[in-house]
Amino acid sequence: MAKTTILQRWKRFTLEEKIHTLPNGVETSHITLSHPGAVLILPVANDGKLVLLRQYRPSIESWIYEFPAGTLESNEDRLACAKRELAEEAKLAASEWHNLGESLPAPGFCNESQYLFLAKNLSLAEADMDEDEVIEVVHFSVEEVKQMIVTNEIKDSKTIVAFCRAQLMGLIT
């Protein structure tokens, strides 16, 4: 087992350097952002519109459209995390959940897995938003979201992956 050196810790993330032996036998040093995993929720309102967030993201110093999402707490069940994030970010609860699978957003430098869900039969919920989140809840039709992806108005990869998976699975039309 190769030795892992922790270069930096922040919240639940670590920057780790490790010597790897690649499948071709080459030994190399690789730095990985170690991430506990995350969930994304594609909420479908009772009128069929999709619930997105217009959220300010300091890393890119810009507003983006995305579905509600969040990082897993230590040993947290994925669906429990999805329910918590939907309540915190969109002030919604859902009685119907569909698993859309898993996505790897940046496997070249990060070990994060994103677990994707579709939520239906929505109702209002109360939960406190994180202090560092600036969010507006917005609703768009499936066709509007398609066009927003095509015109690059929606750039968030996890949102695009979940939307495509839900369409391919026949859960949104």
112 catalytic per annotation: no
Cα gap 67→89, rounded to integer Å: 10
Cα gap 46→145, rounded to integer Å: 17
| Number of helical (H) and strand (E) elements in the chain, helices listed first | 3, 10
* Identified catalytic residue from 16, 131, 133, 153: 131
Cα gap 128→104, rounded to integer Å: 28
φ, ψ of residue 148 in degrees (nearest 5): -65, -30
Q: Active-site residue numbers?
A: 131
